[in-house]
Amino acid sequence: MIMLLFGCSFSKTPSKPVTIQPKIPAETVSTLLKEASVQYKVLANRLPAGQFPKSYHDQEDRLETSGSDWWCSGFYPGTLLYLYQATGDKELQTEALRIMTDLKKEQYNTTTHDLGFMMYCSFGNANQLAPRPEYRDILVNSAKSLASRFSPKVGAIKSWDSTPNDFLVIIDNMMNLELLFWATRATGDSSFYKLAVTHANTTLQHHFRPDYSSYHVLNYNSTTGAVQQKKTAQGYADESAWARGQAWGLYGYTVMFRETKDPKYLTQAMHLADFVLQHPNLPDDKIPFWDYNAPNIPSALRDASAGAINASALLELCRYVPAPTAQHYFSAAETMLQSLSSDTYRAAPGTNGGFLLKHGVGHLPQGSEVDVPLTYADYYYIEALRRYQEFRR
């Protein structure tokens, strides 16, 4: 059976818009995936035992790593599994399974909201490729850990721990809801589904401005549920549009429509797509500056990670909308993929520490992970290439 990679897992392909004809040759996409597989073996060979790749610093030839509790820990095995499915190279699967033995303890981690990223992008993909009771148990426990951070008073899942009166929620948290939908399907327990919908509705109500730009961080009162503050952490300013935050919202509400079929989520996803694609500061290659309101545009840094997330989201969203809009979204994603696959963003084989993409921006205000490769940029780039392949099936 042909499967389409949706979110952090494999699921059935929805109907394909009949008007869409991919322009990137099939052999080009296959070559990109094969070359990515070779590149990720370079990364695997540099990785110390018990460590997960985080980034790479070219001038120092230094691989930056983390423990399993870092929010990005699931992207490396997830990318390996995507590439294994694309190429059949068992070395990639073996490496993914090896590092997942270090990751599985995070199923009980109740100190983070990122268990969707960490566990569903890894064990979720592994479970779809080769289902095992162990994977199911790990994913259910992960969903329970994530659900433990939900507040009925606020109507949301807490992102970051803070003072007792603060309840911080970031737009990124929309990406972790997919794990909860899976948990309801796997267990029959509808409480996971209801938590995901409630969180998405609270975010929909409070996180967005009239032009559909998003705040990064909302601070709710933990006792009353009232909004206390709207601000940024990783964006340029409280009232700016941080590029990766916009991408998280676009992707997250596309998933919400897929999982619930509620049209309000499709409407929101389309508004978020249009904000990005119609923004006057979006460059011609459609890889955004790190913030749409960065003060030094056009000299501001680009963020390949935001471009990759946008491309993957649009390649799903275009399947749910009428033909003219579908073609518009698909063509934009196609341009993003062409740009990301060019020498400007894609690293030459054997370089970049084994990472695929250059020019990611993690946390510029903090001076962390600035203009470097990032595991999540690679993950969503490969996911987008796999989704693109499906339009020829």
CB 147 within 8 A of CB 225: no
* Cα 66 to Cα 64: distance, rounded to the nearest angstrom: 7
Name the residue among 339, 360, 332 with its Cα closest to residue 276. Answer: 332
* Cα 262 to Cα 246: distance, rounded to the nearest angstrom: 21
* Cα 28 to Cα 280: distance, rounded to the nearest angstrom: 31
Strand partners, 227: 220
CB 232 within 8 A of CB 216: yes
Residue with tokens 């471009």: 307
Three-state SS string across 217-253, please?
A: EEEEECCCCCEEEEECCCCCCCCCCEHHHHHHHHHHH
Strand partners, 363: 368
* Cα 257 to Cα 266: distance, rounded to the nearest angstrom: 5
Show the beta-strand stretches assigned E in 115-174: 150-151, 156-157, 166-170
Structural element, H or E, at residue 117: none
- Sequence-distant (≥ 6) Cβ neighbours of residue 386 within 8 angstroms: 4, 5, 33, 82, 85, 86
Q: How many residues does the chain have?
A: 393
Residue 259: count other Cβ atoms within 10 Å of its Cβ.
22
Query: What is the number of H-type helices and E-type strands within the chain?
Result: 13, 11
Name the residue among 357, 121, 375, 69 with its Cα closest to residue 255. Answer: 121
Residue with tokens 């018990």: 50
Q: What is the DSSP string of 25-38?
A: -HHHHHHHHHHHHH
Residue positions annotated with a catalytic role: 114, 172
* Cα 393 to Cα 388: distance, rounded to the nearest angstrom: 10
